[in-house]
Each structure stands twice: as C-alpha cells, then as structure tokens.
Structure 1
C-alpha cells in the first residue's frame, strides 16, 4: 500500500522533529524572508516574526513552547508581502484512524486552501484520553458522521464535548436491497477494483447519493461549522469523495486531489486489523483477506475514474453538484470565500 501513496505537492513542508521542534523545508528560489508562528490558523501577529531569513535559505528548524499545541506557520516574501501558509497535515492521534487537515493545497490560480477549517478522519469510537484532550484543543464546532446507523450503533463515537456539535448524516443506509454489491464482490473477487469503482463509487455514491454529498458540501460552506471534522469508518471512501468534490470546487488540480486521496493508504495496516473479524466470516465464501486488498486501499485510479465519469456525464464537477447534488451557486461561492486564503 505504501507504493500507492502519492505525496501531495506543498509550497512549504512542515515536519515535526520532536514534540517541540519543527522543520520547515521549501524549494530553492522561494525567497522567503520572515516566518511567523501561531497556535491559531487564522491569527498571526505580523509584527512579531519567529525568525527572519536572508531569502536564499531552503529550510529552517524552530523550537516552540510545548504549551503552544498544534502550530501553524506563515512564510512571507519581503518584496511582495505574499504569504504562504503551512502546518503538519497528519495529526498525532494514534486512536483516531486517518486524521488529517486538508489545508495548504494550492489551486490552479495560486490560492491556498485554509488550514484549520476542514479535517477528515475515521470514526472516534476508540478515542483515547490523550487524543480526546488533543482534539478538544482544536475546538471543533461540528463533527459530521457519514456512517450508517448500523455502524454508529456498533461503534458509537466518543463525544468531544466543548463546542463540538455532533451530526449523524449517513451517506447511505443499509437495507434489504444492499446485498447485490456484496454478492458482486463474492462473484467477481478477481475484479474487486472494477466492482468497487462501478457498483459502489459510481452507482451507489455518485448517482444514488448525490443529495447526501450535496448537504455535506453545504455544511462545509458555513463558517459557523468551522473547524469541522468529517468522518466515516475509515475516512477513505465516503469521506474521500466528499473531500474530493470540495477540493475540485475550490479549484485544486486533480493531481493534488488524487494525492490527498491516496494518503489513506498510510493507514492500511490499521484498517486491515479492524476488519479481521469480518474477513474471517467471508472466508466461509472463499474470500481471503488478500482478496479484499482493492477495497481496503485507496488507489488513485478509482478516484480518477470517478471524477472522469462525473465530468463525462455532467460536464464538470460544478455542474454535477448543482444539477445532481442540489448545491446552489451561492454555496459554491461561500465555499471559496470561507475555505481559501485571499
């Protein structure tokens, strides 16, 4: 699965070296002359740089007080006052699968997605005390749970408390008619990736559940819901499509959208362990754990073909969310206003 991971391009990469030390790296010629640090993604003191630079460096290591919590960084070029923002994408929460910030990605026009606004993850049913305290520092306003009622009943979220409002918004519910694609998996186990793409991503998600995705996008457009945590069980399929639609509407290139999607492969081992019990039940039907590889991973090709289907059928992602998912032009504009840096 590691070979399926594509690292999304970022103008500046932030890497933790320890709990209090951070390394920033960027390409030669960027010309940054000042670095600013803040515990809040949208509040920087522009009169108090954490470091000044000559303009020809390509990296910087910063030591920060432990009480700062999760730091956000801003790098400025003197000649233009242009600012680039960065932070660590993957959050250090071992008990929450696949938790990450979708900020920092650049659009085709050169804007950046705001950090600290939209986060994505797997479910919060195994949330530890330490990770609960960490998430409470992020001050989520809305936790949007995309799982089925059956999944929620089986593994209910641990409440975050504070200002976090919990909303159960299932992308789909399991019913008696849902067995057809499971049978397809059993009958076509040698072609599970095709089944996953056509029966699940396109037929079930894109075509049948467009309105549910539209409501998710509308929630993400409202700044009163920020910071917002969007999750399903593993944070890769229902959450992955939601975030892909969002990034496409914001103008992020497909290369970056696909790379973000593949980051779920970093958590393959944990995901595999979480389905071992189900895999044993499937063994009765001749399905081995290895057969499930295509649906436990996030290959770029599945999302790439899903986006290609949307564009071929509806003309563009924007047309799809307006015509099929019920998202208004006003909401699309709100997404861009509230989730992109000026």
Structure 2
C-alpha cells in the first residue's frame, strides 16, 4: 500500500477520533440513489472542543468548513480553544418581524459588522435551549416549592444543584420526545436565528453542533431536511444514526447526565422519538413546512435554503 495514502488516512483519522457523532448530512440522507442534500455542504457532530490545533487544521482542510453554528449555552464548553482561534464568533442581531415577511430582504442585513479574519471563517452561537425554554417551559412547569428551591440555590451560587433539580424534577419526568416538542413551541426565535444562517450561500460549508450533536442539532437538521424534501423515514434514520455515533462515549454520557438529574433515556436517540416529533408537527401544524410558515420562516426563506443545498434547485 502507498505510504502516502497511509499518512493521509492517519491524518484524517486524527481529527475524526476527537469528534463524536460526526457525519455529512448530504451523505446520511442519500437513499437509493436519491440525493436530497448535496454532499459537503452541511456537517453535524457533537462538540468541537476536543480538537487540537493540528486537528482543527485537518478538519478545515478535509471539509473546507466556512461557518460553525454552535447551539450550546454559554455555560457549555470553554473559551479560547483551538477551534475558536480559527472561527471567531460573530454576533447575530435580533430578527425583525417585518423582515421575515419581506422577500427581498437579504440575510446579511441582520449580521453584525464585526471584522472577520482574512480566511473568512466565522462561528455563530445560538443558545437553542436558552431563556425562552427556561422561562416558557421549565419555569412554568415548576411547582411553587420547586421555584423557591431553585431561587435559593441560584442565590447562593450553586448552579450545579439547581441544574440537578431541573433535570430530576422537570426534564426527566417530561421525557425526551416531549422536550423536543417543547423546543419547537418555545424556541421559535432561536430556530429562526439558526435557520437564517443557512439562507446565505457565502456561509457554506456549514458545521452545526451542540454537546452530543443529538437533541438541539437533531432538531435543526430535521427542519433543514424537511425544507429539502427529505422523506420522513430518511429523517428518522438519520436521527437514529446518532445512537451509533455516540456509542463510544455512551457510558460517560450516562454518568454525566445522571449528575444533571437526567435519566438514561436522554443519552439515547431511538427512532420512535423522532417519529413522535414528526407526528406532532403534522397533527399540530400540518407538517414541517407549515410549522416553519407559522413561526415566520415562510416560503421565500425556505427557497433560499433549497437553492443552497438541493441539487435540483441548484440546476433550475
């Protein structure tokens, strides 16, 4: 075997081994020769925090990533990591309702004018399960006694115990599929901010991630796949691939989730979870596209994404 070929494989393997649940959305949604999303445009995984400087360079070289969409909270991960040096964070201004219904408004108007580095790479942070989810879901589901306990632990600076209470007394009883449905109901502004990044052709290739690349990433990818016309069975199968992608770190995940009061269910990606979400979208809104219409991400915005990621749209 060619020694050079070996070296290339080893080099690529170095960054792949530092990632969890990594895949190309185009490849993972290709079925029976049908291409719904072009290869090499949208990638997904768990956190990129484990990549070293060399691995970041390998990662960029292998996939030509221009934009990273980080869906985590500010408390997840660390700052000034190797990935941050190559992808400076760019702020996203709040979207305006009038812009969402005006077809000729370009997404670039909403982005900040922070200077970019010469290579043009950037990272957007969208706190997917942030204040909207905390206020409209978690807080509303708390009993008065639980609210008082949470306030106490927050005031004394013990966020770890507060997180444990939320996990054990709110999220675990709620269950994973219901949490997904609550994301869709409560995190509409965050979903709009995330999807707008995919409307700009200069942002591609785009890599989207959260901590495990399972829940928040799964929701965003499901909506993108719906825009691209990916059949439900294929969306479900792509979500379920996460089970295999997380297998190497599953025991550690279960331990970490237990510290946050979450059951083992929250470490899994069973196909029936995504099926339940898709059924919910059909029963409540009529499907993925009507749901997006209802939150303000209408046909003109959806078409922008299709033109960027769908082979048929690109040729028309």
State which of 26, 36, 40 in structure 2 corresponds to 1:116.
40
1:98 aligns with 2:18: no
State which of 216, 222, 226 in structure 2 corresponds to 1:238.
216
RMSD: 3.4
SS of aligned partner of 1:158 = helix
String of CA shifts for 1:152-180, please: whole Å, max 9, x gaps. Answer: 45896732624320111111226588475
Shift of 1:97: 1.6
Equivalent in the alignment of 2:157? none
Equivalent in the alignment of 2:301? 331
Separation in structure 2 between the aligned mates of residue 91 and residue 119 of structure 1, nearest angstrom = 17
More strand by share: 1
SS of aligned partner of 1:244 = helix
Equivalent in the alignment of 1:150? 75
- For the structure 1 residues 19 and 296, does the alpha-carbon distance in structure 2 shift closer, same or farther, using more than 3 Å as the test? farther
1:311 aligns with 2:294: no
State the TM-score, normalizing by the size of structure 1. Answer: 0.63
1:197 aligns with 2:177: yes
Separation in structure 1 between the aligned mates of residue 225 and residue 4 of structure 2, nearest angstrom = 30
State the TM-score, normalizing by the size of structure 2. Answer: 0.68
Structure-to-structure mapping, 1:1-342, within 5 angstroms: 20=5, 66=8, 93-104=16-27, 105-106=29-30, 110-137=34-61, 138-153=63-78, 158-159=83-84, 161=86, 162-173=119-130, 178=138, 180=141, 186=168, 192=172, 195-198=175-178, 200-203=179-182, 205-266=183-244, 267-274=246-253, 276-277=255-256, 279=258, 281=259, 292-324=263-295, 326-342=296-312
Structure with higher RCO (Cα < 8 A, 6+ apart): 2
SS of aligned partner of 2:43 = strand
- For the structure 1 residues 208 and 188, does the alpha-carbon distance in structure 2 shift closer, same or farther, using more than 3 Å as the test? closer
String of CA shifts for 1:254-297, please: whole Å, max 9, x gaps. Answer: 11111100111111331431563553x46xxxx6xxx8221101
SS of aligned partner of 1:151 = coil
Uncovered stretches (5+) of structure 2, i.e. residues with no partner = 87-118, 143-163
Contact residue 171 and residue 212 of structure 1 kept, 8 A: yes
Uncovered stretches (5+) of structure 1, i.e. residues with no partner = 1-17, 22-64, 71-89
Separation in structure 2 between the aligned mates of residue 277 and residue 113 of structure 1, nearest angstrom = 34
Shift of 1:98: 1.3
Separation in structure 2 between the aligned mates of residue 276 and residue 154 of structure 1, nearest angstrom = 24
String of CA shifts for 1:126-155, please: whole Å, max 9, x gaps. Answer: 113442122121222111110011114589
SS of aligned partner of 2:211 = coil
- For the structure 1 residues 249 and 19, does the alpha-carbon distance in structure 2 shift closer, same or farther, using more than 3 Å as the test? farther
Shift of 1:230: 0.6
SS of aligned partner of 1:143 = strand
Separation in structure 1 between the aligned mates of residue 270 and residue 213 of structure 2, nearest angstrom = 14
Contact residue 113 and residue 339 of structure 1 kept, 8 A: yes
SS of aligned partner of 1:207 = helix
Equivalent in the alignment of 2:149? none
